[in-house]
Amino acid sequence: MLSSLAVVLVRNPVRATLLLILSFLPTSFVYILLQASFVGILQILVYAGAIMMLFTFVIMMINPAPKGGEDPVMGGGPEHGSNKAGALIGLVGLVVAGFLVIPMVWQAASQVSVAAVSKPDFGSLASLSDLLFKDPANNPMTVSFELISFLILVGIIAALNFSRRKAHGGHGGHGGHAAIAVDSITTRPTKALPVLTRAPSPDRK
């Protein structure tokens, strides 16, 4: 929790990303305590492994040398005077909201009757896959689980399309800027690629 607080407070974005990975580890321990061991493993593998690596990669790609708080590119947090006062007000508001809301939630959650786990192998991978993939013909979870993969495919296509469209717009609109961005792979014109024309060899049917 302290490291996730530091995520939003620290100025260097690379350091913030690494702190976020650090804050994922106790969260995954909490998941494992909640008998959600597969979720805990997934938290480390997918979140800390893949998504945070994506963040780190992008940060290092667009800003290889962040310089503390003076960097205008990354907008390194509260550096002006008024901004610092605003940050202080926001922090005080956050603490007050926390002191108001958290005891309310705590009290309300204390009233909730706790039903203990009654399943013998709750949270194990076998029972989870039973939940997801048993009777796939009329199980809505199977369908929606496969729809996630379709969503990820759409996301990949969208991300590729963004970078490609920038490449073509760079040639037209921003003349001086295209010279900087031309070293990207996506700026290579597609029609300049060599067309492989191979005569069908006679020994192949």
Partner 1 sequence: MNLFSLPNCLALSLTLVLIGSYGVFRRRSLIMVLLSIEVMLNGVNLSMVSFNFFRWGTIESSHYLYMLSIGVAAVEAAVGLSMIIVLFKNYTDITRERISRLNETGAPAGDGI
**Interactions with partner 1, residue window 24-83 (CB under 8 A):** 24, 27, 30-31, 33-36, 38-39, 42-43, 46-47, 50-51, 54-55, 58-59, 61-62, 72-78
Q: Does 21 help bind partner 1 (rule: CB under 8 A)?
A: no
- Rule CB under 8 A: choose which of 64, 81, 82, 118 binds partner 1: 118
Is residue 182 a contact residue for partner 1 (CB under 8 A)? no
Q: Report how far residue 39's alpha carbon sits from residue 62's, in angstroms, rounded to the nearest whole number.
A: 32
186 binds partner 1 (CB under 8 A): no
Binder among 81, 170, 188, 194 for partner 1 (CB under 8 A): 170
Residue 192 CB, shortest distance to partner 1, in Å, is 21
Q: Quick check: 143 binds partner 1 (CB under 8 A)?
A: no
**Member of 67, 69, 85, 163 binding partner 1 (CB under 8 A):** 163
The answer to whether 11 touches 69, Cβ cutoff 8 Å, is yes
Stated length of the chain: 205
Torsion, Cα of 176, 67, 59, 10 (10° steps): -140
**Binding of partner 1 by 117 (CB under 8 A):** yes
Is 126 among the residues that bind partner 1 (CB under 8 A)? Answer: no
For residue 5, state whether it binds partner 1 (rule: CB under 8 A).
yes
Cβ nearer to partner 1, comparing 30 with 67: 30
Find the shortest distance in angstroms from Cβ 106 to partner 1.
4
Nearer to partner 1, 183 or 203 (CB): 183
Q: Which residues of 93-128 are buried (b: 16+ CB within 10 A; e: fewer)?
A: eeeeeeeeeeeeeeeeeeeeeeeeeeeeeebeeeeb
Decide: is 136 part of the binding site for partner 1 (CB under 8 A): no
Which C-beta is closer to partner 1: that of 131 or that of 188?
A: 131
- Please tell me the distance from the alpha carbon of residue 161 to that of residue 166, in angstroms, as a whole number: 9
Residue/partner pairs of 7-15 with CB below 8 Å, 24 or more apart: 9/77, 10/77, 11/68, 11/69, 11/76, 11/77, 12/66, 12/68, 12/76, 13/59, 13/63, 13/66, 13/74, 14/56, 14/59, 14/60, 14/66
